[in-house]
Amino acid sequence: MTSIATKTVLRLAHVSKTYGEGESSVEAVHDVSMDLDAGKFIFLMGPSGSGKTTLLMLMGCLLRPTTGSVHIFDEAVSSLAESSLPRVRRSRIGYIFQGFNLFPALTALENVEATLNLKGCRGAEGRAEARNLLERVGLAKRMHHLPEDLSGGEKQRVAVARALAGNPPIILADEPTGMLDSKTGRLISEILRDLAHEEGRLVFMVSHDSRITALADQIFNIEDGCLQDGSRQ
């Protein structure tokens, strides 16, 4: 097996994913290979149903490939036992889901704290770190509000803060600007870009939003599950 260069934090080799079996099966991702480096802000663009969320879930160890392999740092995560995957997700991946996906009954602070608790940071330490993460995304003054009392941009900041719990080297974001107006979408994108450029994380983001593509270091296009040749490196 070839070893991964130190800068490459996520590698997909000939990854395909088929949902279901027989005549009703859908091949959502077809033969995708990518080497993604630390410190980069990378976009994945493509029409609805083209396989973006599926690809992100394969990267985040939320789905297993049908064929091919996923490596995170030098670990072949697609070959790991199911029981090992929570450890990989906890330590390596921060995931921002399509939609805000916050717990509606918990305040902003409690939403972030709950994720920290799951990652093993509990009690006073968890609370202090949750405050710290919300301050970093500019939400210090709104941390005791419930999601329903926050604007779309504020909710997405909570989702970003939550993805930063446990200090993961890889942030995967599924259309984090999709439900935001263009100014707020740009602000969120700038926060994500800074997490890549200033903190050396790999930030990989699904976007439909052509207004913010200038911020990306690299853009991949996907159609019908296949990466397109026009992808900008």
Ligand X SMILES: Nc1ncnc2c1ncn2[C@@H]1O[C@H](COP(=O)(O)OP(=O)(O)OP(=O)(O)O)[C@@H](O)[C@H]1O
Which residues contribute to the site for ligand X (CB under 6 A)?
Answer: 19-20, 26, 28, 46, 48-54, 98
How many residues form the binding site for Mg ion (CB under 5 A)?
2
The one of ligand X, Mg ion, none whose footprint includes residue 26, by CB under 5 to 8 A per kind, is: ligand X
- Residue with smaller CB distance to ligand X, 20 or 22: 20
Residue 227 CB, nearest distance to ligand X (Å)? 13
Binding span for Mg ion by CB under 5 A among 15-23, 50-58, 140-148, 219-227:
50-58
Q: Which amino acid is at 138?
A: G
Reading phi first (left if > 0) and then psi (alpha if -120 to 50, else beta), residue 116 is in: alpha
Given a contact cutoff of 8 angstroms between Cβ atoms, the answer to whether 203 and 50 are in contact is no
Which residue is at the shortest CB distance from Mg ion?
A: 53
Of residues 117 and 221, the one with the C-beta less far from ligand X: 221
Token couple for 172: 């995967």
Which CB sits closer to ligand X, 55 or 93? 55
Give one word for 182, left, alpha or beta, with left for phi > 0 and alpha for psi -120 to 50: alpha
Does residue number 207 form part of the binding site for Mg ion (CB under 5 A)?
no
Measured CA distances, 233 to 19, 56, 172, 184, 191 (Å): 29, 18, 18, 26, 22
Closest distance between Mg ion and the C-beta of residue 156, in Å?
A: 16
Which CB atom, from 129 or from 209, has the smaller least distance to Mg ion?
209
Structure tokens at 51: 């396989």
The residue among 46 and 65 lying less far from ligand X, judged by its C-beta, is 46
Any contact of residue 53 with Mg ion (CB under 5 A)? yes
Task: Pick what 147 binds: Mg ion, ligand X, none; C-beta below 5 to 8 Å, kind-dependent.
Answer: none
Look at residue 19 and give the partner it binds from ligand X, Mg ion, none, a contact being a CB closer than 5 to 8 Å depending on partner kind: ligand X
Which CB sits closer to ligand X, 53 or 115?
53
Q: Which option in ligand X, Mg ion, none does residue 50 bind, with CB closer than 5 to 8 A by kind?
A: ligand X
Chain positions contacting Mg ion, by CB under 5 A: 52-53
